[in-house]
Amino acid sequence: MEKKLIFLDIDGTIYDENKEIPQSTITAIKKLKEKGHIVGIATGRAPYMFKHVIEETDIQTFVSLNGQIVVHDGEVIGKYPLNKEELTQIVEKAHKNNHPLVFFGDTNVYASEENNLHISESLGTLKMDYPQYHNTYYLDHPVYQALIFHTADEDYKYDNQFESLKFYRWHTLSRDVVPNNRSKAEGIKELSKELGFSLNEVVAFGDGPNDVEMLTEVGCGVAMGNAVDALKEVCDYETKSVDENGIYDACVKLGLIDE
């Protein structure tokens, strides 16, 4: 069997809605490795936000923060901080609009406000503790991704106003802030080249808006049954939901593992 490079999103793909990994997914990952495939993670989370996944799956290859930090077997392949000048402009605009921010650094995450309900509610869905308060962290440290907290009716206040940055909505109250030229797909391209795979030999599983690029760039893009419609419209294969053993089922039907 031809060996594949396989990437799995975390939230809504590896993780179910309770932020737990179904046993069928753990079994699928084990079988994929036994078949000689390389399994990686492609997520919007920072590396320090998915240590539990690494421990349970023993996956050491990942594209994190939507392509901002790329790692294979503990070796950093690439790190891409946000443009500080434009990030500063966003911070200033967000402050005027009373919109809090969260900054993801190398080893930790920081909030621009203390005890903000929008931050608590959004990050609570990730089972993530409230970040440490440090409203000027971005001035003296590289920031690889930011979160801005506002509802969709205020998207226009930021959209298409920053040359090097784009936004992904992942929660009704929050959007990711990432570089225009970075995505999970770009990180996957780097790892594919590093590991000697063509993009046609890559399979990617996802469920969210930030998975569109990677599912359309790889040889086989798999949308979970619980995926957003925009992803189902562009995928090569739609599997069952994460709660219905979607990863395992797709791996069998795509011939990646034996049932």
pLDDT (tens digit, 9 = 90+) per residue, 178-201?
999 999 999 999 999 999 999 999
Task: Tell me which amino acid residue 2 is.
Answer: E
- E strands of the chain, at which residues? 5-8, 38-42, 61-64, 69-72, 75-79, 101-104, 109-111, 132-133, 145-149, 165-171, 174-179, 202-206, 220-223, 237-238
Q: What are the phi and psi torsion angles at 66 (to 5°)?
A: 55, 40
Residue 58, classed as helix, strand or coil, is coil
Query: What is the C-alpha separation between 205 and 50, in angstroms, rounded?
Result: 17
**More confident call, 6 vs 18:** 6
Residues marked active site are found at: 9
Q: How far apart are the first and last CA of the chain?
A: 15
Residue found by looking up tokens 């225009």 in the block: 180
CA angle, 226 then 129 then 90, to 5°: 80
What dihedral do alpha carbons 233, 234, 238, 240 form, nearest 10°?
-70
Q: Note the pLDDT of residue 192.
A: 98
Provide the sign of the torsion angle of the four alpha carbons 64, 70, 76, 80, taken in this order: negative
Q: Is the pLDDT of residue 145 over 90?
A: yes
Give the chain's mean pLDDT. 96
Q: Are 43 and 9 in contact (CB under 8 A)?
A: yes
Q: Are 6 and 227 in contact (CB under 8 A)?
A: no
Query: What is the C-alpha separation between 224 and 237, in angstroms, rounded?
Result: 9
Q: Is the pLDDT of residue 91 over 70?
A: yes
As a whole-number percent, the residues of the chain with pLDDT over 90 amount to 95
Q: Is the pLDDT of residue 1 over 70?
A: no
Q: Is the pLDDT of residue 259 over 90?
A: no
Per-residue model confidence as pLDDT tens digits over 16-72: 989 999 999 999 999 999 999 999 999 999 999 999 999 999 999 999 999 999 999
Q: Is the pLDDT of residue 235 over 90?
A: yes
Per-residue model confidence as pLDDT tens digits over 195-232: 999 999 999 999 999 999 999 999 999 999 999 999 99
Q: Note the pLDDT of residue 147.
A: 98
| Token pair for 148 | 């801005």
Residues 6 or more apart in contact with residue 52 via CB below 8 angstroms? none
As a whole-number percent, the residues of the chain with pLDDT over 70 amount to 100
Mean pLDDT, to the nearest integer, of 134-148?
97
Mean pLDDT, to the nearest integer, of 94-103?
98
Q: Note the pLDDT of residue 71.
A: 97
Query: What is the C-alpha separation between 122 and 142, in angstroms, rounded?
Result: 23
Q: Are 203 and 222 in contact (CB under 8 A)?
A: yes
